[in-house]
Amino acid sequence: MARAKYDPVSIIPPLSLVKIIKVTRQQPAWKDRKGKIYRIGYYRRRDGLHCVWLVDDDGKYGGAVDQEMIKTHFEVLELSDETDLFGDDRPIIGPRFPVS
């Protein structure tokens, strides 16, 4: 099965800030996550650009969705200007709020 090609314009960049605004009956595990804010993680070559990793405030990868779900179930709060989609030359995403 061939993987779909994605236009770079349709790919949400890593480090963008998104909020879950819609949870359906088909996603009961997400019920308590409505309103939660995540950062978009770096993409993984083995998963492809269709697989969007969500990073929580602690810097932990907390699940994945596809690009379509980002468009239909999330609000983009802040669009990152990150250009390295795979994070090859970037540090690991850490906690969103530094511990003091």
pLDDT digits (tens, 9 = 90+) for 17-55: 999 999 988 888 888 999 999 999 999 999 999 999 999
Provide, rounded to the nearest whole percent, the portion of the chain with pLDDT above 90. 70
Taking the CA atoms of residue 3, residue 73, residue 33 and residue 26 in that order, the dihedral angle to the nearest 10 degrees is -70
Neighbour count for residue 41 (Cβ, 10 Å): 22
Please check the confidence at residue 62 and state whether its pLDDT lies above 90: no
Q: Which residue has the tokens 């949400």?
A: 12
Please check the confidence at residue 79 and state whether its pLDDT lies above 90: yes
Domains in the chain (CATH in brackets) are 12-24+31-78 (2.30.30)
What mean pLDDT do residues 47-68 have?
94
CA dist., res. 68 & res. 71, Å (int): 5
Q: How far is CA 57 from the centre of its chain?
A: 12
What mean pLDDT do residues 65-91 have?
94
